[in-house]
Amino acid sequence: MQMADSVTGCVLLSLCLLSGGVDAGITEFQAGITTVARPSGITAGPDGNVWFTELNGNRIGRITPQGVITEFTTGLSVNAFPFDIAAGPDGNLWFTEQVGNRIGRITPQGIVTEFSAGITAGAQPYGITAGPDGNLWFTEVGGNRIGRITPSGVVTEFSVGINPNGQPYTITTGPDGNLWFAEYLGNAIGRITPAGVVTEFTAGITASAGPVGITAGPPGDGNLWFTEQVGNRIGRITPQGIVTEFSAGISAGGNPFGITAGPDGNLWFVEAVGITVARITPSGVVTEFSTLTAGANPFFIAAGPDGNLWFTEFGGDRIGRIVLHALLVSAASRKVHGAAGTFDLPLQLPLQPP
C-alpha cells in the first residue's frame, strides 16, 4: 500500500513489511505519539532524555528513559517537516526542517526558535550534527551543500568540492576533527573541515551503493562507519579515505539505514526493510536480531543517555529501546520472515507538503 502522506514528486523506496516476534530487551513505545507522526531523527538530550522528530506530525518529541512521551508543537511553523535532530553545544536540541527550509532549536523546556536567514531556497536541510568547533553542521539534500549554523543562528553554506548531484544525507563529527557526510546519489563519503574544505571519497564503494547513514566508530576504533541502503552493506572508511565494505550476515533486501556507535564498543544499525536491529563489530562481524513489530520500518538509531540504544519506527509511529544485556541473552538472532504488504518510505520529501 502507498503511504497516505507520500505524493508525486517524492523519491520513494518500497518497503516490504515483515512479520515476526520481538526479542526480550527491545521495548516499543507508542503512547503519546500522534497517529501517522512518522518519527524520524533521534538523539540523546542534555537533560537525560531522548529527543526525536516527527516528520508528518510536525512536532518534536521527548521520551524519558521510562518511556513517557511529550510532544511539542508551539513555535514550529506549519508544514516544517522536522527531520533530523542533534544535541548542540549550547545545551539545546537542534533540528532540520526539510520542507520549511529552516534549522530549528528547541530548549529542554520545549521553547522553539526557527532560523532561515542564510539558507538558500529549496535547500531541504536533512542531516544535522554538533561539530568539533562549537557549531552545528547540516546537509542540504536539495541544495547539494553543507551548512554551518552558530548557536546564535548565523548560517554559512559550503558547496565547493561537493558533487552537484551528490545529495548529501546524514553528517557526523569524525575522530579526526572534521565533519563526514554520506552522499546518496554521489555514491561517496565526503569530508569537510571546520574551515569548509571538502574532499570526496568514492574508491572502494560499490557502484550505486546509496550511502545514507554515517557515524563515528566507538572509542579506540578511529574510523567512520556508514550504511549502504541500496547496496545492502555496511561500510567503514578510515580518516585517510580507505573504504572496506561488509555484507556477510546482512539479510538480502534488509536495506540498512541508521547507524550509531553503541556503549558496548560495537556499531548498531537498523534495517528499514528487514525491520531488524543489527550489530557489527569493529572487525566486521554482523549479527541480526529479531524482527520488530510488523510495519515498524526502523529509521534512525542513537545511543541514549541511559546506556541503552533508542531508535525511531517510521512506519510504526513508535520509539524503540534496546537494553543490550537483555537482548543478548534472549533468543539469539531469532528472525521470522513473511511478507505482509508493502510500505512507501520517502527517501526525500515532496517538493510540496502533502
Q: pLDDT tens for residues 125-143?
A: 999 999 999 999 999 999 9
Quote the cell numbers at residue 315: 512506519
Q: Checking DSSP bridges between strand 39-44 and strand 50-54, what pairing results, if any?
A: antiparallel
Please count the helices (runs of H) and the strands (runs of E) in the chain.
Answer: 1, 30
Say which range, 19-33, 103-117, 265-279, has the weakest mean pLDDT: 19-33
Is residue 199's pLDDT more than 60? yes
83 to 139, 157, 168: CA distances (angstroms): 11, 19, 14
Average confidence score pLDDT of the chain? 89
Amino acid at site 317: D
Whether 256 and 268 have beta carbons less than 8 Å apart is answered as no
Confidence of residue 327 (pLDDT cuts 50, 70, 90): confident
Q: Tens of pLDDT along 1-11?
A: 233 332 222 22
Strand partners, 129: 137
Sheet holding 125-130, edge to edge: 125-130, 136-140, 145-149, 155-158
- Residue 350: closest CA among 160, 98, 151: 98
Q: Quick one: pLDDT at residue 328?
A: 79
pLDDT of residue 330: 65
pLDDT in the model for residue 318: 98
The predicted-structure confidence for 280-308, as pLDDT tens digits, reads as follows: 999 999 999 877 899 999 999 999 999 99
| Residue 335, pLDDT above cutoff 60 | no
* pTM for the predicted model, two decimal places: 0.89
Q: Report pLDDT digits (tens) over 174-189.
A: 999 999 999 999 999 9
Question: C-alpha cell of 354?
Answer: 502533502
Cα–Cα distance for residue pair 22/5, rounded to 1 Å = 27
Mean pLDDT of 54-74: 98
